[in-house]
Chains A and B, each alone.
Chain A
Amino acid sequence: EPEVTQTPSHQVTQMGQEVILRCVPISNHLYFYWYRQILGQKVEFLVSFYNNEISEKSEIFDDQFSVERPDGSNFTLKIRSTKLEDSAMYFCASSDPTSGGIYNEQFFGPGTRLTVL
Chain B
Amino acid sequence: RKEVEQDPGPFNVPEGATVAFNCTYSNSASQSFFWYRQDCRKEPKLLMSVYSSGNEDGRFTAQLNRASQYISLLIRDSKLSDSATYLCVVDPGFQKLVFGTGTRLLVSP
Contacts and interface: CB of A to CB of B under 8 A. Distances in A.
B59 to A, nearest CB: 20
Interface in B34-71: 34, 38, 41-46, 49
A91 B101 CA distance: 16
Nearest to A104: B91
Contacts of A50: 95
Given A43-B44, A89-B41, A111-B43, A106 B97 contact: yes
B74 to A, nearest CB: 20
B97 A109 contact: no
B44 A48 contact: no
Interface residues of B, number: 22
Contact of B31 (A55, A102, A105): A102
A109 B95 contact: no
Contacts of A103: 32, 34, 49
B96 interface: yes
B98 interface: yes
A15 to B, nearest CB: 23
B44 A108 contact: yes
Interface string B66-96: 0000000000000000000001000100111
Interface in A100-117: 100, 102-111
Tell me which of B31, B38, B43 has the highest count of chain A C-beta atoms within 10 A of its own C-beta: B43
Interface of A: 31, 33, 35, 41-45, 48, 50, 55-56, 58, 89, 91, 93, 97, 100, 102-111
Given A58-B96, A105-B34, 19 more contacts: A31-B95, A35-B97, A42-B101, A42-B102, A45-B96, A45-B97, A48-B95, A56-B94, A56-B95, A56-B96, A91-B43, A97-B95, A100-B49, A102-B32, A103-B34, A104-B91, A104-B95, A107-B46, A108-B44
